[in-house]
Amino acid sequence: MTSFLRVSTCVILTALTAASRPAAAAGEPDTAATLRPIAGQVRHLDRAEITFHASVTQDGGIQVEGRGGEFVFRKKSRANGQFTLDLEGPGDKVGINVTEDSVTVTRGRRRVALSLGMLNERELDDVRVMLAGSGAVRLARIAAAAVQESDDDSAAAVSLLISDALVGMLSGDPGAPGRVARHLARHGRAGIRRAATTDCYGEWERRVLTASYDWESCAGAFSVWNPIRNVCAFRWTLQVESYWFTFISCTGFNSF
């Protein structure tokens, strides 16, 4: 059984890692290379009572920082979908680092590294236990729930929701990735194209819709009890995060 899980994980990793890399048209410059060090953008999400600030980092990444009450959200994204996430609450801090091969979670002095090639339920349980009672996680999830109810489609809101899909799953809410995937793809699923949208937005909607169907197909291939289903969610996160990076870069931060 263990060998089967490892083989299945490797198959998913190979297929979805390739899918998570945004395709570039012939002659199109690399997104990260074309980013300019422009002034950061600010967005206030009324329902969540959080003000977000976005900026381009010196190494070509995009950093989003949000503050509301005692909650701090800080995320640095890269063009390939990899990102680091820091959540802070009163006396509590959680860090998450996502790469193509692993997810590392820290809280205080505790640290758990999940290898996506050898994912098992024991390691996932270790992360759930670590995050149990986390004030930072609780505030992050409250904020994300408020944003989702507000129907806000700004890049700032989307950045928070993608993070919530991952944080929710890690903290014991296996349905979080599916809910966020369907929410982000809701316009495409309904066949709705917003008036006066840009090509950037249309491409974002198309990619997010495809990713949601890919996630459902991947997750449906495994029993609800099989921890490999979580690899499908991890890879969906990488895909959509890379699409978000391309989208906000395409619009020159005007979508933020």
Query: What string of DSSP letters covers 46-71?
Result: TTTTEEEEEEE-TTS-EEEEEEETTE
Render pLDDT for 195-245 as a digit per residue (tens, 0 to 9). Answer: 555 688 889 999 999 999 999 999 999 998 898 889 999 999 999 999 999
Q: Supply the pLDDT for residue 10.
A: 42
Cα–Cα distances (Å) from 129 to 59, 110, 195, in that order, read 34, 11, 46
Unique residue bearing structure tokens 């994300």: 144
Q: Supply the pLDDT for residue 198.
A: 63
Query: d(Cα 189, Cα 55) in Å, to the nearest integer?
Result: 31
Render pLDDT for 27-65 as a digit per residue (tens, 0 to 9). Answer: 333 443 344 444 558 999 988 899 999 999 999 999 999
Distance of CA 55 to the CA centre of its chain: 18
* Tokens linked to 247: 């989208």
- Residue 26 pLDDT greater than 70, yes or no: no
Contact between residue 33 and residue 78 where contact means Cβ atoms under 8 Å apart: no
Residue 193: pLDDT band (50, 70, 90) is: low
Contact between residue 256 and residue 156 where contact means Cβ atoms under 8 Å apart: yes
* Tokens linked to 238: 């990488």
Q: Supply the pLDDT for residue 183.
A: 93
Residue 171: pLDDT band (50, 70, 90) is: very high
Give the SS3 label for residue 27: coil
Query: d(Cα 219, Cα 178) in Å, to the nearest integer?
Result: 10
Query: d(Cα 188, Cα 181) in Å, to the nearest integer?
Result: 11
Largest alpha-carbon pair distance within the chain?
Answer: 53
Give burial (CB, 10 Å; 0-12/13-18/19+) of 67. Answer: middle
Instruction: Between 18 and 121, name the one with better pLDDT.
Output: 121
Residue 246: pLDDT band (50, 70, 90) is: very high
Residue 119: pLDDT band (50, 70, 90) is: confident
Half-sphere exposure of 155 (CA within 13 A, CB side): 30
Instruction: Between 251 and 12, name the one with better pLDDT.
Output: 251
Query: d(Cα 155, Cα 88) in Å, to the nearest integer?
Result: 21
- What is the arithmetic mean of pLDDT over 70-94? 97
- Residue 71 pLDDT greater than 70, yes or no: yes
- Residue 92 pLDDT greater than 70, yes or no: yes
Give burial (CB, 10 Å; 0-12/13-18/19+) of 199. Answer: exposed
Contact between residue 159 and residue 172 where contact means Cβ atoms under 8 Å apart: no
Q: Supply the pLDDT for residue 14.
A: 41
Q: Supply the pLDDT for residue 31.
A: 41
Closest Cα to residue 169, out of 143, 141, 142? 141
Q: Supply the pLDDT for residue 189.
A: 80
> What's phi and psi for 190, nearest 5 deg?
-85, -5
Query: d(Cα 210, Cα 144) in Å, to the nearest integer?
Result: 23
Render pLDDT for 140-164 as a digit per residue (tens, 0 to 9). Answer: 999 999 999 888 889 999 999 999 9
- What is the arithmetic mean of pLDDT over 62-85? 96
Query: d(Cα 220, Cα 222) in Å, to the nearest integer?
Result: 5
Render pLDDT for 11-24 as a digit per residue (tens, 0 to 9). Answer: 344 444 444 444 44
